[in-house]
Amino acid sequence: MRFVRTLTLRNYSKRTIKSYVDWVYDLARYHMKAPCSLSRDEQQAYLYHLVIERGLKPSTCNVAINALRLYYQLVEGVPRDQLGLMLPRPRTGWRLPEVLAAEEVERLITHARQLHHRSFLMTVYGTGLRLSEAANLRGRDIDSDRMQVRVVAGKGNKDRYTVLSPVLLTELREHWRRRRCTDWLFPNRRGDGPMCPAVGQYAYKTAAKAAKITKQGGIHLLRHSFATHLLEGGMNLAVIQRLLGHADLHTTARYLHVSSRGMKEWKSPLDLIEPKIPPGMEGAPE
C-alpha cells in the first residue's frame, strides 16, 4: 500500500503506521467507498460519526484527523492549506491530568500483586516512561555508569535518555536475578520478547484497587506523577520536557497547572483587605 510505504520512508513507527492505516480503512468502511472518491461532505460526515455517534474523545478524533490529513496530503496530493477546511478539528478544552500524591505512589507500589509488578510500577514512576516504552526495555538500556535509562524508538520513533534512580537500579538488579532475565528487562512468558503492555496495565489496576486509589486513569498516571513531582522538586521545565520526550514544551507546561509548588505561599486578594460590617447590621437576622 502506497500510504504504508510513504510513512515507512518518513520513519514513522510501526505502531503509528498501523494506527493511521486503520483510520483510513475505517473511513472507507464507513462509506463503503475508496477514500479518494469521497466528497468533502462525506469526509465530514465521517467526522460527525466519530464525534456524535461514537462519542469519541477529542484527542482520539484528532489522531484520526492526523491520519486522514496525512493520507490525503501524501497519497492524494491535496494541498496542505486545504486540509483544515476539508477535515476540521473539534474544539478541545484544556484538560489537566490527574496526579498521585507521593504517599499514594508508595501505597500503590507496596500493594503490587507480584514482585515483577512492583518492579515494573517502580520503573514507570521512577523514569516517567510511557507504558510501551517501559515494556520494551532491555538490559542493555540500563546505563548504571551514567545512571541513565535509554529509551529506544520512543514516541515519534525517537531515542532519548531519562534518569535512573539508585533505588530503581537496586530494584532492577534484584528483578533481573530473580526472573533470570537474559535480554528483555520485562520479558513475556516465553522469554523471547517483551512483556505485553496489557500486563503492565493489569499490574497498575490490581495494585490501585488493593491500595484503594480511586483517581481515574491507568498506569499513565505514574508518568504524570513523575513529571509533577519533579517540577515540585524544583527541576527545570525544559529538562522535564527532554526526560518525557515531549516534542512541544506546551505539552509539558500543563504540569505547571497541576503542581502545588509554592501554593502554600499563594494568597487570595481577599486577604489583603479587611471588609467591615456596616453599622446597624451586627447581629441582624439573615
Q: Is 255 annotated as catalytic?
A: yes
Sign of dihedral through CA atoms 217, 222, 227, 233?
A: positive
Please state, in angstroms and rounded to a whole number, the distance separating the CA atoms of residues 3 and 24.
10
Sign of dihedral through CA atoms 172, 176, 181, 183?
A: positive
Q: Is 66 exposed, middle or buried (0-12, 13-18, 19+ CB in 10 A)?
A: middle
By three-state DSSP, how is residue 277 classified? coil
Kindly name the residue from 150, 205, 246, 261 that is annotated as catalytic. Answer: 246
Which residue stretches of the chain are H helix?
A: 2-9, 14-31, 40-48, 58-74, 80-86, 102-110, 115-127, 131-135, 166-179, 197-210, 220-232, 237-244, 249-258
138 DSSP β-pair partners:
184
User: Cβ neighbours of residue 203 under 8 Å, at least 6 residues apart?
Assistant: 112, 113, 114, 117, 120, 121, 219
Q: Is 246 annotated as catalytic?
A: yes
Scan for cell 499513565, then name that residue: 220
- Structure-block grid coordinates of residue 160: 532519548
Q: Is 71 annotated as catalytic?
A: no
Kindly name the residue from 31, 107, 155, 254 that is annotated as catalytic. Answer: 155
Q: Is 130 annotated as catalytic?
A: yes
From residue 261, give the alpha-carbon distance in Å to each of 92, 169, 228, 230.
27, 28, 9, 10
Q: Is 223 annotated as catalytic?
A: yes
Kindly name the residue from 69, 116, 118, 130 that is annotated as catalytic. Answer: 130
Q: Which residues are catalytic?
A: 130, 155, 220, 223, 246, 255
